[in-house]
Structure 1
């Protein structure tokens, strides 16, 4: 158990609002929309055209007894850059990566009344 706790502290970000794992999960979910499944690759289906995409992800926070609803928007250009990174122009060290925006809303588990209003704000 102690070894598991040590590994867990290495994975957790110092700022829980800036978790790189959430961004990676959104990228994987976005790829599901465009790439064919392994079963359909045998049929040689073409990959779909990239387009802007908005996704939502609901996570549970046990310590604060609530949820976090993430909403991510990815642009067509960002998805194309992830698909073929060698065609992407090089950026400087201080350049910001644009094309993926993640917003979140913390939703308390109690009171249970009004979750639709909370979920509508994300």
Structure 2
């Protein structure tokens, strides 16, 4: 027996808007479309979203994408700034963790982080 892969699922308000964001803004590939549930491939793991009629979203959630170095963090920040992504915060070194990153929000209000873990 062996685990083949992992998918983290999150509820979303609008699967079409969420798909647009993760494919056209973030740059992930749509791996599987199940109608109101979609799975996106980062190349290193999967991220899934399900549209539920009750509208309840996960709370205190952060989706982090790991990058190869600080320059790549800065490059992604510049890219999203040019796209005028809302809620974009400039990159910085964290005072609590050995991480250099920036944050933004997805259409559901989830916190998205692009980071380089320094150690």
| Fold match by TM threshold 0.5 | no
The one of the two structures with greater contact order (alpha-carbon pairs below 8 A, sep at least 6) is: 2
**Rg (Cα) greater in structure:** 1
Higher helix share: 1
If the TM-score is normalised by the length of the shorter chain, which range does it land in? Answer: under 0.3
Q: When you count strand as a share of all residues, which structure comes out higher?
A: 2
